[in-house]
Amino acid sequence: MARRRSSIPLRSSLRKLFPASLLREWSVQTGAVQRHRKVGIEALFWTVVLGFGTGRQRSIAGLRRAFEKATGRTLAPSSFYKRFRPEFTALLKLAVGHAVDSALTTSRRLEGPLSGFRDLVLADATVLRLHSLLEHRWPATRTNHTRAAAKLHVVLSVRGASCQAVKITSERAADGRVLRIGPWVSGRLLLFDLGYFRYQLFSCITRNGGFFLSRLKSNANPTIVAINRTHRGRAVDVVGQPLQDVLDRLQRDVLDVMVRVHFRRRRYRGQQSGAEQILRVVGVRDPRTGQRRLYVTNVAPEALRAEDVQAVYAARWEVELLFREWKQHYRLDELPSRKPEIVEALLYASILTLVVSRRLGELVRQRLGKRRDRLRAHRWAKIFEAVAQDLLLVVLRRPRDTVVIRGILQRFLLRESIDPNANRRSLIQAVEAREHQYRMAA
pLDDT, residue 54, reads 67
87 has pLDDT over 90: yes
As a whole number, mean pLDDT of residues 363-380 equals: 86
Q: pLDDT tens for residues 51-73?
A: 876 656 668 888 889 888 888 88
CA 258/CA 152 separation, integer angstroms: 35
CA 150/CA 128 separation, integer angstroms: 5
As a whole number, mean pLDDT of residues 165-191 equals: 86
**Confidence label for 37 from pLDDT (cuts 50, 70 and 90):** low
Q: pLDDT tens for residues 210-241?
A: 999 999 999 999 999 999 887 665 667 888 99
Pair 198, 206: CB distance under 8 Å: no
The beta strands (E) that lie in 78-234 are given as 119-129, 149-157, 162-170, 188-192, 211-215, 223-227
CA 13/CA 92 separation, integer angstroms: 19
1 has pLDDT over 70: no
Pairing of strands 162-170, 149-157: antiparallel
CA 12/CA 19 separation, integer angstroms: 9
Measured between alpha carbons, how far is residue 272 from residues 162, 177, 263 in Å?
A: 37, 18, 10
Q: Shortest CA distance to 410 belongs to which of 377, 378, 383, 374?
A: 383
Pairing of strands 223-227, 211-215: unpaired
What residue ranges do the domains of the chain occupy? 2-102+337-416, 211-297
As a whole number, mean pLDDT of residues 379-400 equals: 91
pLDDT, residue 161, reads 61
Sheet hosting strand 223-227, strand order edge to edge: 162-170, 149-157, 119-129, 188-192, 211-215, 292-297, 274-285, 254-264, 223-227
More confident: 178 or 154:
154
Secondary structure of residue 303 in the 3-state scheme: coil
**Confidence label for 203 from pLDDT (cuts 50, 70 and 90):** very high
As a whole number, mean pLDDT of residues 258-276 equals: 81
- Taking the chain, what is the end-to-end CA distance rounded to the nearest angstrom? 52
CA 5/CA 394 separation, integer angstroms: 20
Pair 218, 211: CB distance under 8 Å: no
